[in-house]
């Protein structure tokens, strides 16, 4: 019995070992769920955009509601200048959301519960946002670290804090998602294990906990995808509209 | 009591988890770098494909669909507005026509009434004139008759008295003496005879 709550996060090879040079890029269970999530997104949104009727059917409504949801989120947080980055943020939100949600199905693998995945996403966002900031504002982008209206005495301290907080963005962004996913799934596994070990007599309490946790985890899965996307929007807003 | 039990079990749980972590040889599988390269590769691949397909094929279609629907709805609203305006204009026109025809009907009625009244008045005047003429004529006739009446009566009286005298006496009486008597009587009692 897999009583260990961490075994669900183990990555293992599916199929043969593929090596490119010194790198092992074998197809794993993590890769499988990335592919499944992407394919699910593509299939749903392809079906949702195929036909255009004035009265949309359910799948078209789903696609269009998601579109306007993300579109509104971006325009609310980053303004109209962020329009060219809509596709990226939409893909990001959907990818994280679907990976989180597929992880909620029993016996599946949660792609976003791995720090390396979330860190690569966050690092890409961080580098991208920084590059956009320097392209848009040149060295004026460094003014981001110098807030206006701060007493000159405090300025060195504030600048150091701002730089640290800016540099910690990819870490906080990736750890937030990864830790939430891992903690939630570990908790569910632990409570599931309690149900088994306490048996029919005492298993009801952890079982009810497990049921409640499942609801909570579905909420967290959505919320974390939303937070990930909205933080990306906020970072993008910093790069596009220097408000300091 | 229950609270205490719950707390104890919570603490026991933490120990339990700690034990599991200790038992695991590598700790968290997330920190095992064996498949990091593979995960990065597959993440970049799947996310890249997802991004390209979404941004090039699917999202423009959804955006076009939304745009089309918006414009269509806008168009429909505009068309409805236009139709409403035209129907309002037509209603106004209709009201105007009704009002105009009402005024016309009133005018026609008034004209007809005036004409009839005028007609009646003129006819009445003509009739009045005719009646007046007739009355005048009749009055003139009556006057002439009245004026000629005493003479005639006198004559008749003279003739009849002559006749009567002839019959009664059997002798001829002079006409002139009788007429003188009649004249005398008329002069005396003319008012009594003719009722003036």
For chain B, give every domain's residue range. Answer: 54-194
Structure tokens at A218: 């579905």
CA dihedral A133, A137, A140, A141 (to 10 degrees): -10
A116: nearest CA in chain B? B36
Nearest to B65 among A52, A111, A113 (CB): A52
The pLDDT assigned to A231 comes to 95
Say yes or no for a CB contact (<8 Å) between B29 and A60. Answer: no
Q: Give the whole-number percent of chain A exceeding pLDDT 70.
A: 98
Say yes or no for a CB contact (<8 Å) between A6 and B24. Answer: yes
Digit-coded pLDDT (tens) for A54-78:
788 899 999 999 999 999 999 999 8
Query: Which residues of chain A are within 8 Å of residue B32 when distances are taken between CB atoms?
Result: 11
The pLDDT assigned to B12 comes to 53
Evaluate if residue B3 carries a pLDDT over 80: no
Q: Measured between alpha carbons, how far is B135 from B130 in angstroms, rounded to an integer?
A: 8
pLDDT band at B4 (very low <50, low <70, confident <90, very high): low
Does pTM surpass 0.80? no
A128 at interface of B, judged by CB pairs closer than 8 A: no
C-alpha dist (Å) from residue B86 to A190, B61, B89 = 72, 36, 5
Nearest to A42 among B37, B39, B50 (CB): B50
Evaluate if residue A203 carries a pLDDT over 50: yes
Angle between helices B59-169 and A86-103 (to 10 degrees): 110
Digit-coded pLDDT (tens) for B61-111:
999 989 998 999 999 999 999 999 999 999 999 999 999 999 999 999 999
For chain A, give every domain's residue range. Answer: 7-240
B29: nearest CA in chain A? A10
Kind and range of the H or E run holding A23: strand A23-24
Within 184-243 of A, beta carbons closer than 8 Å to B belong to 186, 190
Structure letter (DSSP) for residue B56: I
pLDDT band at B13 (very low <50, low <70, confident <90, very high): low
Judge whether A233 and A74 are in contact, CB under 8 Å: yes
The pLDDT assigned to B9 comes to 57
Evaluate if residue B21 carries a pLDDT over 50: no
A94: nearest CA in chain B? B50
pLDDT band at B177 (very low <50, low <70, confident <90, very high): confident
Say yes or no for a CB contact (<8 Å) between B35 and A91. Answer: no
Evaluate if residue B193 carries a pLDDT over 70: no
pLDDT band at B194 (very low <50, low <70, confident <90, very high): low
Query: Which residues of chain A are within 8 Å of residue B18 when distances are taken between CB atoms?
Result: none
Q: What number is the average pLDDT over the span B112-124?
A: 93
3-state percent helix, strand, coil for chain B, nearest multiple of 5:
95, 0, 5
Mean pLDDT lowest for which of A171-175, A216-220, A227-231, B172-176? B172-176
Nearest to A45 among B28, B54, B72 (CB): B54
Other Cβ atoms closer than 10 A to A158:
15
Burial B160-184 (b: 16+ CB within 10 A, else e): ebbeeeeeeeeeeeeeeebbeebee
B61 at interface of A, judged by CB pairs closer than 8 A: yes
Q: What number is the average pLDDT over the span A142-151?
A: 85
Digit-coded pLDDT (tens) for A15-69:
888 888 888 888 999 999 999 999 999 999 999 988 877 788 899 999 999 999 9
Say yes or no for a CB contact (<8 Å) between A190 and B34. Answer: no
C-alpha dist (Å) from residue A193 to A15, A166, A210, B43 = 30, 41, 10, 31
Token match 């990864």: residue?
A178
pLDDT band at A122 (very low <50, low <70, confident <90, very high): very high
Structure tokens at A32: 């499988």
pLDDT band at B1 (very low <50, low <70, confident <90, very high): low
Evaluate if residue B20 carries a pLDDT over 90: no
Q: Helix, strand, or coil here: A24?
A: strand
Distance from CA of B74 to the nearest CA of A (A): 12
């Amino acid at each position: 019995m897999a009583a260990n709550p961490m075994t669900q996060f183990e990555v293992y090879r599916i199929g043969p070992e593929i090596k490119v040079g010194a790198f092992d890029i074998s197809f794993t269970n993590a890769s499988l769920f990335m592919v499944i999530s992407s394919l699910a997104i593509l299939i749903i949104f392809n079906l949702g955009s195929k036909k255009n009727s004035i009265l949309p059917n359910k799948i078209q409504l789903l696609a269009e509601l998601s579109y306007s949801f993300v579109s509104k989120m971006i325009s609310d947080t980053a303004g109209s200048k962020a329009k060219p980055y809509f596709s990226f943020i939409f893909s990001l939100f959907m990818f994280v959301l679907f990976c989180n949600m597929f992880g909620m199905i029993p016996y599946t693998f949660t792609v976003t519960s791995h720090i390396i995945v979330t860190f690569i996403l966050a690092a890409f966002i961080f580098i991208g946002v920084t590059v956009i900031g320097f392209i848009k504002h040149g060295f004026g982008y460094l003014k981001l670290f110098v807030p206006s209206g701060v007493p000159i005495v405090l300025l060195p301290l504030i600048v150091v804090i701002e730089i640290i907080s800016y540099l910690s963005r990819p870490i906080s962004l990736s750890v937030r998602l990864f830790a939430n996913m891992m903690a939630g799934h570990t908790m569910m596994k632990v409570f599931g294990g309690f149900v088994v070990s306490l048996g029919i007599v005492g298993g009801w309490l952890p079982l009810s906990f497990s049921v409640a946790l499942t609801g909570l985890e579905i909420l967290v899965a959505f919320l974390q995808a939303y937070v990930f996307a909205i933080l990306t929007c906020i970072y993008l807003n910093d790069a596009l509209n220097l408000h300091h | 009591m229950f609270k205490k039990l719950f707390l104890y079990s919570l603490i026991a749980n933490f120990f339990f988890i700690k034990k599991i972590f200790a038992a695991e040889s590598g700790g968290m599988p997330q920190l095992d770098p064996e498949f990091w390269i593979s995960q990065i590769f597959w993440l970049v691949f799947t996310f890249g494909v997802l991004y390209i397909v979404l941004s090039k094929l699917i999202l423009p279609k959804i955006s076009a669909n939304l745009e089309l629907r918006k414009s269509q709805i806008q168009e429909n609203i505009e068309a409805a507005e236009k139709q409403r305006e035209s129907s309002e204009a037509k209603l106004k026109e209709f009201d105007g026509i009704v009002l105009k025809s009402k005024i016309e009907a009133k005018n026609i009625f008034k004209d007809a009434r005036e004409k009839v009244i005028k007609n009646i008045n003129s006819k009445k005047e003509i009739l009045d004139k005719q009646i007046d003429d007739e009355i005048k004529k009749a009055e003139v006739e009556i006057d002439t008759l009245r004026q000629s009446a005493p003479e005639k009566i006198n004559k008749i009286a003279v003739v009849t008295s002559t006749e009567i005298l002839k019959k009664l006496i059997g002798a001829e009486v002079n006409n002139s003496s009788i007429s003188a008597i009649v004249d005398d009587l008329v002069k005396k009692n003319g008012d009594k005879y003719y009722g003036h």
